[in-house]
């Protein structure tokens, strides 16, 4: 990678994947402060506070509304790119984050819980457009047929882990973890968005987008000169022209056509299982409600922020391990091992919670199991499903497959974020057995159905499925 190419890759990941990770974890630390604000505001408006049930419902909506915004953003990204281009879509998405930061930052001053919820939904809209919506303008490489090009899934996974870790560090009591700072804590998202907005102007538009979708050969050539740092780019231009001719003669499959196409039904089912399983594995519950989980496990309240930060550091290390081993080990072993580890650790949390009254040291087993879930997720399920989706389908089917996988990701993310507090209240320690079952079933499905996709063509993979 040349320096300009590496720079724009990191800039895009910093403003998309890292922000996505930050928004997953940012509501964990200030949960009690936000609930207290909701309760006091409700009391001022109506003369009485909120009961435990309605308060939990309102907070669960605040947590999970991020995913509904993400779903909408991932569905609208095509229109954004069509009207504004890759770089323009990212810039306008960054402006949304500035708006969201304003809503959340001034919510307490204006006594408006609604502003927190609206701000969370707008940050989700940005993440849907920039991360799982795939508006990532890398100059050239393997794309999805619409000109959207992905950094490797492992790189995305690392930046998600860094975003989560950043939220955990800033949530310490010595930093922004105090009651008076929670609106500022939520609105920190404007910092990476502002940097992305400013620095994107230093880079040209995606050459692939300029040539394939705008037919601007001159603009694409100039952009390639800048990104690749060489005057000889004719070979790359020729490759993109051939791809342009190939795409112009290729009919893109709609989502409905994909779901009805019997020739790829196992590939489609595999995308559904792996993407839904990734979110239903319980990882979102861990990220959204880490402090609550540790509190229920008996960890002293004063130690919880530092324990949470420790899990985040291990998470980053696990993401790096996954990044550097995926091409050596392959996709299939990583995702099977990751889901199995998560399933075993979910069962371990249940056992430790049931025994902690008799054996106080079991609280540390709970912490170890949470670390195991996070590490298992970051080494495999965090990035492999996105990479695997690209490898299971030919160009004509790939955009529809990403829509199916991305939509399921956001819907399942919303489901877990919204129902987990109520699941925990009703099932207690046994709620983690639900996640255990999901993880082990997904691992079994991958073992029985999905082949290794590393270094295989679409035709080879299709033949194995057949």
How far apart are the C-alpha atoms of 22 and 18, rounded to whole Å?
6
For the segment 22-50, what is each residue's pLDDT rounded down to a tens digit? 998 899 889 999 999 999 999 999 888 88
Give alpha helix (H) positions in 200-233: 207-208, 217-228
State residue 110 phi and psi, 5-degree precision: -95, 0
Asked if residue 280 and residue 131 are part of one domain, the reply reads: no
Confidence of residue 154 (pLDDT cuts 50, 70, 90): low
In the DSSP assignment, the letter for residue 452 is: P
Residue 309 has pLDDT above 50, yes or no: yes
Asked if residue 288 and residue 192 are part of one domain, the reply reads: no
Residue 350 has pLDDT above 50, yes or no: yes
Say how many domains are in the chain. 2
Asked if residue 407 and residue 280 are part of one domain, the reply reads: yes
The pTM (predicted TM-score) of the whole model is 0.84
Three-state secondary-structure class, residue 149: strand
Domain of 397, in residue numbers: 255-465
Is residue 458 in a domain?
Answer: yes
For the segment 396-439, what is each residue's pLDDT rounded down to a tens digit? 788 888 888 888 989 999 999 899 889 888 888 898 999 999 99
How far apart are the C-alpha atoms of 215 and 217, rounded to whole Å?
6
Confidence of residue 8 (pLDDT cuts 50, 70, 90): confident
How far apart are the C-alpha atoms of 178 and 41, rounded to whole Å?
19
How far apart are the C-alpha atoms of 32 and 310, rounded to whole Å?
21
Higher-confidence residue of 22 and 291: namely 22
Higher-confidence residue of 343 and 90: namely 343
Is residue 191 in a domain?
Answer: yes
- H or E element: which one contains 348? helix 331-355
Q: Name which of 67-81, 130-144, 151-165, 396-410 the model is least confident about.
A: 130-144
Candidates 178, 179, 155; CA nearest to 13 is 155
CB 409 within 8 A of CB 279: yes
Is residue 280 in a domain?
Answer: yes
DSSP string, 61-124: HHHHHHHHHHHHHHHHHHHHHHHHHHHHHHHHHHHHHHHHHHHHHTTTTTT-HHHHHHHHHHHH
CB 311 within 8 A of CB 297: no
Is residue 46 in a domain?
Answer: yes
Asked if residue 195 and residue 301 are part of one domain, the reply reads: no
| pLDDT for residue 132 | 47
Asked if residue 307 and residue 453 are part of one domain, the reply reads: yes
Confidence of residue 133 (pLDDT cuts 50, 70, 90): very low
| Chain Cα centroid distance, residue 265 | 26
- What separation in angstroms does the CA of 341 have from each of 259, 286, 363, 375, 435? 31, 15, 19, 8, 12
Is residue 225 in a domain?
Answer: no
The CATH number of whichever domain residue 176 belongs to comes to: 1.20.1250.20
Which residues on adjacent β-strands are paired with residue 149?
143
Asked if residue 407 and residue 286 are part of one domain, the reply reads: yes
How far apart are the C-alpha atoms of 206 and 151, rounded to whole Å?
14
Asked if residue 297 and residue 179 are part of one domain, the reply reads: no
Confidence of residue 155 (pLDDT cuts 50, 70, 90): low
Higher-confidence residue of 113 and 382: namely 113
Which residues on adjacent β-strands are paired with residue 85?
none
For the segment 80-90, what is each residue's pLDDT rounded down to a tens digit? 877 777 788 88
Asked if residue 55 and residue 119 are part of one domain, the reply reads: yes
Higher-confidence residue of 381 and 432: namely 432
Asked if residue 259 and residue 191 are part of one domain, the reply reads: no
Q: Which residues contact 174 (CB under 8 A, 6 or more apart)?
A: none
How far apart are the C-alpha atoms of 113 and 103, rounded to whole Å?
10
For the segment 248-277, what is each residue's pLDDT rounded down to a tens digit? 767 778 888 889 988 888 989 999 999 999
Asked if residue 429 and residue 290 are part of one domain, the reply reads: yes
């Amino acid at each position: 990678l040349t320096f300009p190419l590496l720079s724009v890759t990191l800039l895009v990941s910093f403003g998309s994947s890292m922000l996505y990770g930050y928004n997953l974890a940012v509501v964990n630390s200030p949960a009690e402060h936000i609930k207290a604000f909701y309760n006091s505001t409700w009391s001022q408006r109506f003369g009485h506070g909120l009961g435990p049930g309605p308060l939990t419902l309102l907070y669960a909506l605040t947590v999970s509304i991020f995913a509904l915004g993400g779903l909408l953003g991932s569905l609208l990204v095509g229109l954004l790119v069509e009207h504004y281009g890759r770089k323009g879509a990212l810039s306008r998405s960054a402006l949304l984050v500035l708006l969201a930061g304003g809503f959340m930052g001034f919510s307490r001053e204006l006594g408006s819980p609604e502003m927190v919820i609206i701000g969370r939904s707008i940050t989700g809209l940005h993440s849907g457009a920039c991360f799982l919506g795939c508006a990532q303008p890398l100059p050239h490489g393997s794309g999805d047929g619409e000109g959207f090009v992905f950094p490797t899934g492992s790189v995305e996974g690392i930046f998600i882990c860094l975003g989560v870790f950043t939220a955990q560090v800033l949530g310490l009591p010595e930093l922004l973890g105090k009651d008076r700072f929670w609106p500022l804590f939520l609105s920190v998202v404007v910092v990476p968005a502002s940097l992305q907005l400013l620095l994107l102007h230093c880079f040209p538009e995606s050459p692939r987008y300029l040539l394939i979708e705008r037919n601007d050969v001159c603009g694409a050539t100039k952009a390639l000169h800048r990104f690749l740092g060489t005057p000889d780019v004719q070979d790359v231009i020729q490759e993109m022209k051939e791809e342009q001719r190939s795409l112009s003669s290729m009919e893109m499959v709609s989502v409905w056509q994909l779901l009805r196409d019997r020739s790829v039904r196992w590939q489609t089912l595999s995308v559904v299982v792996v993407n839904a399983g990734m979110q239903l594995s319980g990882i979102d519950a861990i990220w959204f409600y880490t402090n609550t989980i540790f509190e229920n496990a008996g960890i002293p309240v004063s130690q919880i922020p530092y324990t949470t930060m420790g899990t985040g550091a291990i998470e980053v290390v696990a993401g790096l391990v996954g990044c550097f081993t995926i091409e050596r080990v392959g996709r299939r072993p990583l995702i099977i091992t990751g889901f199995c580890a998560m399933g075993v650790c979910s069962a371990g949390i249940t056992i430790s919670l049931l025994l902690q009254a008799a054996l106080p040291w079991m609280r540390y087993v709970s912490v170890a199991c949470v670390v195991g879930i996070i590490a298992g997720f970051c080494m495999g399920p965090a990035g492999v499903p996105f990479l695997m989706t690209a490898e299971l389908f030919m160009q004509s089917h790939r955009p529809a497959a990403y829509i199916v996988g991305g939509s399921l990701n956001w819907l399942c993310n919303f489901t877990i974020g919204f129902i987990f507090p109520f699941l925990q209240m009703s099932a207690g320690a046994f709620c983690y057995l639900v996640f255990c079952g999901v993880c082990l079933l997904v691992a079994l499905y991958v073992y029985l159905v999905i082949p290794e996709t590393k270094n295989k063509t679409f035709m080879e993979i299709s033949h194995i499925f057949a």
